[in-house]
């Protein structure tokens, strides 16, 4: 049976009818058209489906939409402000940290959660924070550089 639930996504309230078995990932992509969040493995391994739930990275493929009621979801679509890219998004472009782009939304959200908690991370902390996000293209080096550069830029602002 479908239930009507309210979710707070990227600062806005959305009302969706979900079955208990509907994942947050499915609601985002299929009901709300927020296809920035990707589905890779579907079982918690790859991190492509990462979103921030109350500020913390979670795997939306293993999150029941009914359990997200009244909590705050941030997806990659919610990062830019007034058409301005977030410094992390900018840094990913400038440092060639994006190849196919499939892992990028999840990577950026994991990186944002890190920088929110720890604005001056060292390389090892960046690697730890991104350890739940797989990338099959870049070899990670450029991604780590981009996150460190974004941190530096955000400090200088």
Ligand X SMILES: Cc1cc2nc3c(=O)[nH]c(=O)nc-3n(C[C@H](O)[C@H](O)[C@H](O)COP(=O)(O)OP(=O)(O)OC[C@H]3O[C@@H](n4cnc5c(N)ncnc54)[C@H](O)[C@@H]3O)c2cc1C
Which residues bind to ligand X, rule: CB under 6 A? 44-45
Interface positions with another protein (CB under 8 A): 1, 19-21, 23, 26, 39, 42-45, 47, 50, 53, 56-59, 61-64, 66-67, 110, 113, 128-129, 131-133
Q: In angstroms, give the least distance from the CB of 44 to ligand X.
A: 3
Task: Compute the radius of gyration of the chain from its Cα atoms.
Answer: 15
Close Cβ partners of 138 (under 8 Å, ≥ 6 residues apart): 97, 98, 99
Closer residue to ligand FES in complex, CB, 8/26 = 26
Instruction: Give the H or E element holding residue 80.
Output: none
Name residue 6's beta-bridge partners: 15
The interface partner of residue 63, options being ligand FES, ligand X, another protein, none and the CB cut-off 5 to 8 Å by kind, is another protein
Phi, psi of 11 (to 5 degrees): 85, -5
Query: Rounded to an integer, what is the distance from CA 109 to the centroid of its chain?
Result: 3
79/132 Cα distance (integer angstroms)? 20
120/136 Cα distance (integer angstroms)? 27
Closer residue to ligand FES in complex, CB, 1/26 = 26
* Contact characters 123-142, ligand FES, x per CB under 6 A: ------------xxxx----
Phi, psi of 61 (to 5 degrees): -70, -15
Closer residue to ligand X in complex, CB, 62/93 = 62
The interface partner of residue 20, options being ligand FES, ligand X, another protein, none and the CB cut-off 5 to 8 Å by kind, is another protein
Closer residue to another protein in complex, CB, 78/106 = 106
139/25 Cα distance (integer angstroms)? 26
Number of residues that bind ligand FES (CB under 6 A): 22
Which residue in 46, 74, 113, 144 binds ligand FES (CB under 6 A)? 46
């Amino acid at each position: 049976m479908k239930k009507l639930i309210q979710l707070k996504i990227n600062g806005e309230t959305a009302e969706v009818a979900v079955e208990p078995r509907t994942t947050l990932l499915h609601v985002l992509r299929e009901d709300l058209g927020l296809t920035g969040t990707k589905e890779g493995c579907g079982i918690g391994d790859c991190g492509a489906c990462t979103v921030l739930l109350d500020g913390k990275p979670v795997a939306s493929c293993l999150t029941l939409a009914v359990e997200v009621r009244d909590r705050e979801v941030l997806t990659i679509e919610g990062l830019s402000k007034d058409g301005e890219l977030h410094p992390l998004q900018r840094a990913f472009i400038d440092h060639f940290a994006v190849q196919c782009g499939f892992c990028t939304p999840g990577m950026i959200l994991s990186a944002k959660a890190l920088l929110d908690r720890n604005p001056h991370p060292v390389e090892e902390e960046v690697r730890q924070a991104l350890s739940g996000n797989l990338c099959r293209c870049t070899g990670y080096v450029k991604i780590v550089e981009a996150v460190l550069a974004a941190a530096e830029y955000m400090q200088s602002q």
